[in-house]
Chains A and B, each alone.
Chain A
Amino acid sequence: MRVLSESEREAKKEYRFIKILELIFLALIINFSIYFILNIHKSDSIQITSIIKNIIPISGLFLLAIGVVGGTMYWRFYRIPPSIQDLLIPFYENLGYSTGKALFHTLKVNISSNTYFKIKISLYRRISAESCLFQLESMRLPNALENKEQFESVSQRYLLSSDLKLQKFHTCCELSEIHPRSLLMIQAVEEMLKTDPKS
């Protein structure tokens, strides 16, 4: 439980950090917009332009913008907090599965060379008082369309939702549910793939 609460705290910290980066990013955009608008119009507000130029050294601001954009992109779209990574990756590796990171805080768990499922991580959801939320999504199951009933039955057996259009199972879960729910997802994927496509 200690690990879970630490991970939750870290998820909150990371979320706040991302929000701060986004705010700085927004502030920079506003600053640049004011600067360029005043420059383009070359209006009678020369005094304002010179004030802004004096306050904001534009070359430094440009370098800062590149840093902030890079940092925001990395934190917003790729980075998974280390404690959550430590909580997830060893679990799947102990089961004999390999893992890989993907864009948008996604962890891909390879059950075998061509079987996998994805874990999409939302760091913080204020509305439901959750500090971290995971969405498990199976790979596209090619025999789902031929076996609609089996697809539906497997999804019900493991309390997952099924999307016949996408031919995928998916479910949302919290940090404390992630291990048992992903085991169910693995079983559901394996069971579905065992089904004879022609049956």
Chain B
Amino acid sequence: MMPVNEIKSEVIYNLVLPLSSYTEIKRKILLCLAHIYPRAVSGTQLSMMIGYSGKARTLYRGVLDHLEDDNAILLDKLTPKLYSIRINHNHALMKVLIDLCQTYGKSLKEKYGSIAEKGESLE
């Protein structure tokens, strides 16, 4: 992991530019997954973490496919209905996002973690 104070402004710009081209829901998903890295979550947990009902899976089903196509996230199909979703740490931009969130978003990481645990108990 690169020390955050060594990340250049240019790299931050290169991260902000494509992220800003995404819809709000895609940005929420990426930010959430970057905060909870290296943890993988299910669809229900993810939708609860970004503020949707755990049952509202259709809201993001296509969105997750798009993010996977762009290599931003990794989707592992555990069962036909259960997915394991995590951020793609091998992607150059996602690495920067993970570094930033892990360094400055410790408090948010805890909050996301507690929501994920609630989601886990619901499944």
Residues of A participating in the B interface, judged by any CB pair closer than 8 Å:
125, 127-130, 133, 153, 155-161, 170-174, 176-177, 180-181, 183-184
Give CA–CA (A184, B20) in the complex, Å: 11
> Which A residues touch B59, using CB under 8 A?
129
> Which B residues touch A173, using CB under 8 A?
21, 66
Tell me which of A127, A159, A161 has the highest count of chain B C-beta atoms within 10 A of its own C-beta: A159
Interface residues of B in 15-34 (CB under 8 A from A): 17-23
A172–B18 CB distance below 8 A: no
Which of B41-49, B68-76, B77-85, B108-116 lines the interface with chain A?
B68-76
Residues of B participating in the A interface, judged by any CB pair closer than 8 Å:
14, 17-23, 58-63, 65-66, 69-72, 91-93
B70–A161 CB distance below 8 A: yes
Least CB distance, A163 to chain B, in whole angstroms: 11
> Which A residues touch B61, using CB under 8 A?
127-128
Give CA–CA (A161, B59) in the complex, Å: 23
Least CB distance, B48 to chain A, in whole angstroms: 18
Residue of B nearest to A160 (CB): B70
A129–B58 CB distance below 8 A: yes
Q: Would you mind naming 6 contact pairs between A and B with Cβ atoms under 8 Å apart?
A: A128-B63, A153-B92, A157-B14, A159-B22, A161-B70, A172-B66
